[in-house]
A = this chain, B = another copy of it.
Amino acid sequence: MELYGFFRSSAAFRTRIALNLKGLAFDQVPINLRANEQRRGDYLKLNPMGTVPTLIDGDIVVDQSLAIIEYLEETHPEPPLLPKTPADRARVRAIAMDIACEIHPINNLRVRRYILHDLGHDEKALETWMNHWTKLGFDGIEPMLAGDPRTGKFCHGDRPGMADICLVPGVFNARIYPSFDMTPYPAIRRVFDNCMKLEAFERALPERQSDAV
């Protein structure tokens, strides 16, 4: 398999963790978002949305990190990244999407660029913007983790899965600005720390990738 990604993309980071947890080998093709390589004609032919990551599995091309993770789950079921019952699977998918649909898209590189360059705001306003959306999201996720007995060492039980895969890059993004206060989120911090003890997460870190600068 081939994964088109970018070391700093948190969506690509998610798929690297998933591939590692599944024990799947993959080659990485770097697409430099800072140099706008995702808008190059050859990449747009592969992924017309111009987003990373894109997974290539033989002649199958999949975009969108969560669609890639569901695809890996269906084609390589072991170890599972989703629990067994529909109710538990819904809980894990919802936590994953609370990050992937409510925090990440609004704080993404292209949106940050628009705030700075098109709307003409300064770095300070951008910092307030990012911290605002992260706080709204984490304020929701923290009680969902702390208040549910299904939370274990990880977001759901004692095995890492799709929610943890989204949470860890979400915490990295939250820490971009030291002004973001992680104190009110002990459950998130605990799960994060447990994830980072695992080689599958550690090996997926942005700074461990070949295109890291």
Contact = CB atoms under 8 A, between A and B. Distances in A.
24 contacts: A48-B139, A49-B137, A49-B140, A49-B141, A49-B144, A50-B140, A51-B98, A51-B140, A62-B87, A62-B94, A64-B97, A64-B98, A67-B97, A68-B90, A70-B89, A71-B86, A75-B86, A101-B101, A101-B104, A101-B105, A105-B105, A105-B106, A115-B119, A119-B121
A143 interface: yes
A108 to B, nearest CB: 8
A176 interface: no
A-B residue pairs, 4 tightest by C-beta: A49-B140, A67-B93, A105-B105, A67-B94
A111 interface: yes
A19 interface: no
A86 B61 CA distance: 11
A202 B136 CA distance: 33
A63 interface: yes
Interface in A93-130: 93-94, 97-98, 100-102, 104-106, 111, 114-115, 118-119, 121, 125, 129
B105 A49 contact: no
B102 A49 contact: yes
Contact of A87 (B50, B60, B63): B60
A21 interface: no
Interface of A: 47-51, 60, 62-64, 66-68, 70-71, 74-75, 86-87, 89-91, 93-94, 97-98, 100-102, 104-106, 111, 114-115, 118-119, 121, 125, 129, 132, 136-137, 139-144, 147
Nearest to A76: B86
A98 B68 CA distance: 13
A181 to B, nearest CB: 18
Contacts of A141: 48-49
Nearest to A145: B48
- The residue among A47, A94, A104 with the most chain B CB atoms within 10 A of its own CB is A94
Contacts of A98: 49, 51, 63-64
